[in-house]
Amino acid sequence: MVTGRGNGAARMVTIGVLALQGAVREHERMLDGLGVATRRVRVPSQLDGLDGLVLPGGESTAIARLARPSGLLTAIRDRIDAGFPVFGTCAGLILLADDVADPGGLVGLPTIGGLDVTVRRNAYGAQLASGEADVELSAGALVAAHDVGVALPRYEDRNGSVHPVGRDDRAVDEPSTMRGVFIRAPRIERVGAGVQVLGTREYEPVAIRSGAVFACTFHPEIVPDPALHALWLGGV
């Protein structure tokens, strides 16, 4: 079970999953495997009482269009400004970006923003350019996982070996690799001064962090490697 680090007794962490469109179930399954309770979020009132929120991949334009009537994305932004932990994957990253190059159908729709990056939608081409690739997690990312001081969960890799996530097993003085599934992924073209790069693919940033906001261009919930989810949860 993952528990919050607040002062008193350990408490169960409840994470919301934005559930308007996209890979909702896959994130729920990943979070469930990490011992975290989840709740689907479709309207602003469902944000109340959550310890953090996952923004799944899917189609950023569809999510933004479906969220507009309730003002959900603006409500999420207000909470981010107050320190609320959010993890955006793929379309979720696009919604978090302060600047979207080639925004297409997002023009005129409220998004979330707050993450000082420029992303380009569908930068790797069409569906054919999609696939699985290695992501190098920076040593700094893994040290951060250790330093948050929570017992990070173990996970089973694709060969059936069981590893703890963090300093005990993954080398921190060398980068470590996780698999990421890239599906019509955005490219991070600019990273602002306050944004830390957690992971790269062929030397390009693909996983980033700014305070309690984490984001990646790929789908980390599809492969059985919870390293990024666990890292984010460590700060929740």
Nearer to ligand GLN, 11 or 40 (CB): 40
Closest distance of CB 121 from ligand GLN, Å: 4
| Helix or strand holding residue 25 (H, E) | helix 24-33
Q: Indicate if 90 belongs to the active site.
A: yes
Query: Is the separation of the CB atoms in 197 and 208 below 8 Å?
Result: yes
Reported residue count of the chain is 236
Closest distance of CB 140 from ligand GLN, Å: 26
Contact positions with ligand GLN (CB under 6 A) in 177-206: 183-184
Q: Indicate if 221 belongs to the active site.
A: yes
C-alpha atoms less than 13 angstroms from C-alpha of 223 in its C-beta half-sphere: 21
CA angle 64, 31, 82 (to 5 degrees): 55
Nearer to ligand GLN, 93 or 165 (CB): 93
Q: How far is CA 157 from the centre of its chain?
A: 20
Q: Indicate if 27 belongs to the active site.
A: no
Query: Is the separation of the CB atoms in 158 and 224 below 8 Å?
Result: yes
Query: Does residue number 209 form part of the binding site for ligand GLN (CB under 6 A)?
Result: no
Nearer to ligand GLN, 2 or 18 (CB): 18
Nearer to ligand GLN, 38 or 89 (CB): 89
Contact string 86-125 vs ligand GLN (x = CB under 6 A): ----xx--x--------------------------xx---
Q: Which of the residues 26, 27, 216, 219 is marked catalytic?
A: 219
Q: What are the b/e assignments for 37-53, b being 16+ CB within 10 Å?
A: ebeebeebebbeebbbb
Q: Which of the residues 28, 90, 216, 229 is marked catalytic?
A: 90
For residue 153, the 8-state DSSP code is P
Nearer to ligand GLN, 150 or 185 (CB): 185
Closest distance of CB 122 from ligand GLN, Å: 5
Residue count, binding to ligand GLN (CB under 6 A): 11
3-state secondary structure (DSSP) of residue 96: helix
CA angle 29, 30, 34 (to 5 degrees): 115
Closest distance of CB 184 from ligand GLN, Å: 4
Structure tokens at 17: 């999953």
Among 46, 60, 111, 210, which residue interacts with ligand GLN (rule: CB under 6 A)? 60
Query: Is the separation of the CB atoms in 198 and 214 below 8 Å?
Result: yes
Catalytic residue numbers? 90, 219, 221
Binding residues vs ligand GLN (CB under 6 A)? 57-60, 90-91, 94, 121-122, 183-184
